Amino acid sequence: MNLLIEGDAVVTMGPKGTIKNGAIVVEGDTIVEIGKARKLISKYRRYEKIGGKGKVIIPGLVNTHHHAAMSILRGYADDMDLRTWLERQIWPMEKHMTSRDNYVGALLTAVESIMGGVTTVNTMYHYTSEYNEARAFAEAGIRGVIGHVCFSWRKKQDRKALELLAKTWHTQRNGRLRASVDPHAPYTVDPEYMKELKAYKRELSEKYASEKSPIIFHTHVAETIDEADKIMHAYSIPSKGGVVEYLDSLEVLSNDVVASHCVHLTNTDMEILKERNVKVAHNPVSNLKLGSGICPLKRLLENGITVGLGTDSSCSNNSSDMFEVMKITALLHKGITRDPTMLPADQILRMATIEGAKTLLWSEEIGSIRTGKKADVAIVDFKKPHLTPVYNETSHLVYAAKSSDVDTVIVNGELLMENREVKTLNTDNIISMAEKTRQTLMDRVCESL
């Protein structure tokens, strides 16, 4: 499909900055030209035109940490700390969940993400062969990194799942999907297994990946203040430093690692993250809701560490709304530092786009609007009272816009949503499927009592 996307502004997040009365030309899955709308409309008269007056064009948002299937548990377990939430609510419930439950939850996340201008999601959950998050994302048309979460208690099962995931899905759907290896956390994956998983990631990369399409290593790190103690108690390892320092002693940290949360870091941890070029996924809404604490974002950024934004699961957030995450990130860190100049809107939007793409090692293709990159684009409707008047588009996107203001979404040059209508999936059917899935899941739970 050849498209000409025009708007009152194109916020490129690249060298061209914001182009007033701009346009993007898309041929197939690629952006081929960016510039003033008047010039490009004249040059590409026969291309299908979308966007128009009152619209602002941005790169698709990148959600760097999610558990997409867990949307099926949205609102199931609220108002408790992480340990209680996991051990008393989530893990017991997951014993009753089927692979199809996971698939339906991932479909729900995919639709919600598309409707909120998110074009890429990095997700970690349990992979099974027939129904899984990859299948849901493939049907939705969204871009994603799909990981299988690994635990010490199921090593053989994990290895089989990781092999099948990488073999079946890595670089599939015209390159939209990638696989990742996802140890759950340092306190649920023993030291030897953590090292084995990093070695297995390298093995899978040699078989199925390339430098341009890597398989990443994605794990939770230092989410709660007692994580180092949990590692010590689980594996009888003396707690002599921070969690990052412990992982570094296992030689598993490198530039292909996404460390989610990183709330409780020592000074040494911070130095190691920088030295190893580890990427961080910051999840402020989930961390606040679970009472886990606040990531030292200012120090991470001052140390030159790449940070992307994530929602975490819709069971701990409770949504996939990246506009909400952007605003809360800005306000939270201005508040705790008492510095209103910290994290200006442009920097926040970068974290949700190009820095997010860098976090997932995908910035050569996505994250900004540049010639030669993939056409992953969201069109935001600024013809709203809460987005009027317009002095600065980026300011509105971070501080005033809502996910419901997203009008149109394109991934790999394909229209996934236009005029708020999702094209690839039937939204009403998915809502109905999710409600039925919740009911059958609860029936199974009741039968087990």
Q: What is the pLDDT of residue 301?
A: 98
Q: 131 and 147: one domain?
A: yes
In a domain, 435, yes or no: no
In a domain, 425, yes or no: no
Q: 146 and 54: one domain?
A: no
CB 84 within 8 A of CB 101: no
**Ramachandran region, residue 338 (left: φ > 0; alpha: ψ -120 to 50; beta: rest):** left
End of a domain among 314, 342, 359? 359
Q: Parallel, antiparallel, or unpaired: how do β-strands 30-36 and 143-150 relate?
A: unpaired
Q: Tell me which residue range forms the domain holding 156.
A: 61-359
Q: 402 and 317: one domain?
A: no
End of a domain among 359, 385, 410? 359
Q: 319 and 409: one domain?
A: no
DSSP E strand stretches across 271-333: 279-282, 307-309
Per-residue confidence of the chain (449 residues) as pLDDT tens digits?
Answer: 899 999 999 999 999 999 999 999 999 999 999 999 999 999 999 999 999 999 999 999 999 999 999 999 999 989 999 889 889 999 898 999 999 999 999 999 999 999 999 999 999 999 999 999 999 999 999 999 999 999 999 999 999 999 999 999 999 999 999 999 999 999 999 999 999 999 999 999 999 999 999 999 999 999 999 999 999 999 998 777 999 999 999 999 999 999 999 999 999 999 999 999 999 999 999 999 999 999 999 999 999 999 999 999 999 999 999 999 999 999 999 999 999 999 999 999 999 999 999 999 999 999 999 999 999 999 999 999 999 999 999 999 999 999 999 999 999 999 999 999 999 999 999 999 999 999 999 999 888 87
In a domain, 431, yes or no: no
Angle at 349 between CA 348 and CA 351, to 5 degrees: 65
Q: 406 and 295: one domain?
A: no
Q: 211 and 274: one domain?
A: yes
Of 57, 63, 100, whose CA–CA distance to 319 is shortest? 63
Angle at 116 between CA 258 and CA 5, to 5 degrees: 105
Q: Residues 6 or more apart from 129 whose CB is under 8 A from it? A: 99, 164, 168
Q: Residues 6 or more apart from 382 whose CB is under 8 A from it? A: 8, 54, 55, 56, 388, 390, 393, 396, 405
Task: Give the integer Cα–Cα distance in Å for 150 and 143.
Answer: 22
What DSSP line would sit under 44-68, residue for residue?
TTTSEEEEEEEEEEEEPEEEEEE-G
Q: Which helix (H) or strand (E) holds 268?
A: helix 267-276
Q: What is the pLDDT of residue 85?
A: 87
Q: 50 and 162: one domain?
A: no
Angle at 120 between CA 101 and CA 97, to 5 degrees: 10
In a domain, 439, yes or no: no
Q: What is the DSSP letter of 187?
A: T
Q: Is the dihedral of CA 345, 349, 354, 360 positive or negative?
A: positive
Count helices and strands in the chain by DSSP H and E runs: 18, 16
Q: What is the pLDDT of residue 411?
A: 98
Q: 207 and 254: one domain?
A: yes
Q: 234 and 337: one domain?
A: yes
Q: 45 and 143: one domain?
A: no
Rounded to whole angstroms, what are the CA distances from 188 to 18, 207, 233? 45, 27, 11
Residue with token string 């602002």: 56
> In DSSP terms, which residues pair with 282 in a beta bridge?
309
Count of the separate structural domains present in the chain: 2
> 365 by DSSP, 3-state: which?
coil
Q: 407 and 295: one domain?
A: no
- What would the two tokens of residue 6 be? 């025009």
Domain CATH number, residue 262: 3.20.20.140
Q: What is the pLDDT of residue 230?
A: 94
Of 259, 352, 370, whose CA–CA distance to 308 is shortest? 352
Q: What is the pLDDT of residue 447?
A: 84
Of 281, 421, 427, whose CA–CA distance to 359 is shortest? 281
Q: 256 and 136: one domain?
A: yes
Of 410, 396, 372, whose CA–CA distance to 59 is shortest? 410
Q: What is the pLDDT of residue 238?
A: 79
